Structure 1
Amino acid sequence: MKAVQVTGYGEKLSMVEVPAPEVTGPHDVIVRIGGAGVCRTDIHILEGQWAQKSGVTLPYTIGHENAGWVHAAGSAVTNVAEGDKVIVHPLITCGLCPACRAGDDVHCGQSLFPGIDTAGGYAEYLKTSARSVVRIDDSLEPSDVAALADAGLTAYHAAAKAARTLRPGHRCVVIGAGGLGHIGIQVLKAITAAELVVVDRNPDAVKLAMDIGADHGIIAEGGQVEEVLELTGGHGAEAVIDFVGEGGATADGTAMLRRAGDYHVVGYGENIDVPTIDVISAEINFIGNLVGSYTDLCELMTLAAQGLVRLHTTKFPLADFQDALDDLEAGRIRGRAILTP
């Protein structure tokens, strides 16, 4: 089969011919890929940022946002059948450790992460497990929802955490309305009554945010903190969800937060520099967010089937993987880029 692989850090990806994966265990599921999301993490992988953490042996197939059709399944698989449309949770988990048994499978101690530390979905077929596949509604197409497997799941996880404490009349600031942020905005609109304030440097991203449900859009041109404070009567927002995490976003985000507010970190790239006296005197909370659980993905697929969450995508044939990466890195992608084998 055709697959796009990392052959060296600091080098471009290569398309190669590799053997197609086969069922070798009773819980294995082989997915014929219908769409693979192109994520900024893929660029970070090529830069070598994940080399030490993942410990993966090169070459290997990249791609961790995947959806498609069940091609084959092991003898013990009962939740899906050949031909079913599925989206693939980004982790392969054990189901037996304390985290898995608590439904917190994203912290499984034995997990594998296709596209990060084992073969991923920039290919025609992907090997995963029964615990990782979620059937999707017949109204949905794999290439339309593939990036919900990670970008959407991460955004949902953060938005759902914030929603636990957001009440009618509260304000939530969303920093960044790009690939993750535009999903998070829709999730928040679907599951909370909070007033949504979106901040982004890109006017087109702010316009998109307003089109999909944001109550206020602010273009980050230097006065964004003051604008948020003015909107909130000088108090700040009850919650800030930062999908950027670099370029000064963390300083802005903490300054936009009210006393006892929650700052949800999703994007990464810089340090949070806050005097500890400010943390305790205002009782503000810093909350990390990784990818969501299998249950989170099921809930997100329900919202997608109801038409409450839609991905804005640009699709590329698998052979045009380099164009997709170049467009993402240059900021030419609104929403998510999807490779379609």
Structure 2
Amino acid sequence: MRAVRVTGYHQKLEMRDVPVPEVTGPLDVIVKIGGAGVCRTDLHILEGQWAEKSGVRLPYTIGHENAGWVAAVGSAVTNVAEGDTVILHPNITCGLCRACRSGDDVHCANKVFPGIDSDGGYAEFLKTSARSVVKIDDSLEPSDVAALADAGLTAYHAAAKAARRLRPVDRVVVIGAGGLGHIGIQVLAATTAAEIVVVDRNPEAVELAESIGAHHGIVADGSHVEQVLDLTGGHGAEVVVDFVGEGGSTAQGLKMLREAGDYHVVGYGENIDVPTIDVISTEINIIGNLVGSYNDLTELMALAARGLVKLHTVKHALDDFQTALDDLDGGRVRGRAILVP
């Protein structure tokens, strides 16, 4: 089969012919890929940022946002069958460790992360586990929802945590309305009655945000912190969800936060620099957000099946992987780029 491989860091990806994965264990599931999301993390992988953390051996196949159709299953698989349409949770988990038994499978002690530390979905087929496949509604096309497996799942995880705190009289500021942010906005709109304020430097992204549930859209033109404070009577928002995490957004996000507010960090790339006395005197909470759990993914797909969350995509043929990556790196992708084998 064709697969897009990382052959070296700070080098271009290469298309290679590799063997089709086979069922070797009772819980194995082989998926024919119908869509693979192109994520900024893929750029960070090529830059070598994940080399030490993942410990992956090169060459390997990139791609961690995947959906498709079940092609083969192991002897003990009962939750899906050949031909089923599925989306893949990005982690392959053991189900036996303390985290898994607590329902916190994101922190599985024995997890494998295809596309990060093992072969991923920039390919025609992918091997995963019965614990990682979510059967989805027949009305959903894999290439339309693939990026919900990570970008959408991460956005849902953060937005759902934020929604548990928010009340109808509250305000939530979303920084960034791109690949993750535009999903988070829809999740917030579907799960909370709070007032949603979106900040993005791109006027088109702000316009998109207002069309999918944001009550206020603000272009980050240098006066955006003051505009948020004006909207909130000078107090700041109860919750800030930062899908950017770099370029100064962390300092700006904290300035938009009211006392005892929650600042959710989702995007990454810079350090958070805040004096401890400010954390103590204002009792703010700084909350990290990783990818969501398997249950989070099932809930997100329920919203997608009802039409409450729609992924804005730009589709490319698998052979056109370099264009997709270049467009993402150059900031030319509105929503999410998807590779279709």
**Could you give the per-residue CA deviations for residues 160-211 of structure 1, whole angstroms, max 9, x where no partner exists?**
0001110001000000000000000000000000100000000010000001
Q: Once the 2 structures are TM-superposed, how far is the Cα of residue 330 of structure 1 from its aligned partner?
A: 0.7
Q: CA deviation at 1:119?
A: 0.3
Residue of structure 2 in register with 1:64 after alignment = 64
2:32 corresponds to 1:37: no
- Pair 1:116 & 2:116 matched: yes
SS at match of 1:252: helix
Runs of 4+ in 1 over 6 A off after TM superposition: none
Q: SS in structure 1 opposite 2:314?
A: strand
CA RMSD of aligned residues (A): 0.4
Distance 2:252 2:185 in 1: 19
Following superposition, the deviation at residue 306 of structure 1 comes to 0.3
Mapping of residues 41-60 of structure 1, within 5 Å: 41-60=41-60
**1:224 and 1:207 mapped to 2: Cα distance?**
15
Write out aligned runs for 1:101-250 (5 A).
Answer: 101-250=101-250
Q: What TM-score do the two structures reach when normalised by structure 1?
A: 1.00
CA offsets 1:33-85 (integer angstroms, 9 cap, x no match): 00000000000000100000001000000000000000000000000000000
State how far apart, in whole Å, the 1-side matches of 2:85 and 2:94 are: 23
Q: State the distance in 2 between where 1:71 and 1:155 align.
A: 29
Q: Which amino acid aligns with 1:64?
A: H
Q: Equivalent residue of 2:178, what SS?
A: coil
Q: What is the match of residue 264 of structure 1?
A: 264
CA distance in 2, matches of 1:315, 1:169: 39
Q: Write the deviation string for residues 253-298 of structure 1: whole angstroms up to 9, x where unpaired.
A: 0000001000000000111111111101110000000000000000
Superposed displacement of residue 309, structure 1: 0.1
Distance in 1, matches of 2:17 and 2:244, equals 36
Q: Provide the residue aligned with 1:335 in structure 2.
A: 335
Whole-Å separation in 2 of the counterparts to 1:278 and 1:47: 35
Q: How far apart in 1 are the matches of 2:102 and 2:335?
A: 33
Shift of 1:129: 0.1
Q: Percent identity?
A: 80
Report the equivalent of 1:19.
19
SS, match of residue 165 in structure 2: coil
- Matched with 1:320 is 320
Matches within 5 A, 1:268-287: 268-287=268-287
**Structure 2: unaligned runs, 5 residues or longer:** none
Distance 2:323 2:246 in 1: 25
Distance of 1:4 and 1:31 partners within structure 2: 16
Task: After TM superposition, give the deviation of residue 3 of structure 1 in Å.
Answer: 0.2
What amino acid maps onto 2:268 in structure 1?
Answer: Y
Report the alpha carbon displacement of residue 239 of structure 1 after superposing the two structures with TM. Answer: 0.1
**Structure-2-length-normalised TM-score:** 1.00
Other structure's SS at 1:164 match = helix
Structure 1 gap ranges (5+)? none
Q: Give the whole-Å Cα distance in 2 for the aligned partners of 1:17 and 1:242.
A: 39
Output the amino acid matched with 1:57.
Answer: R
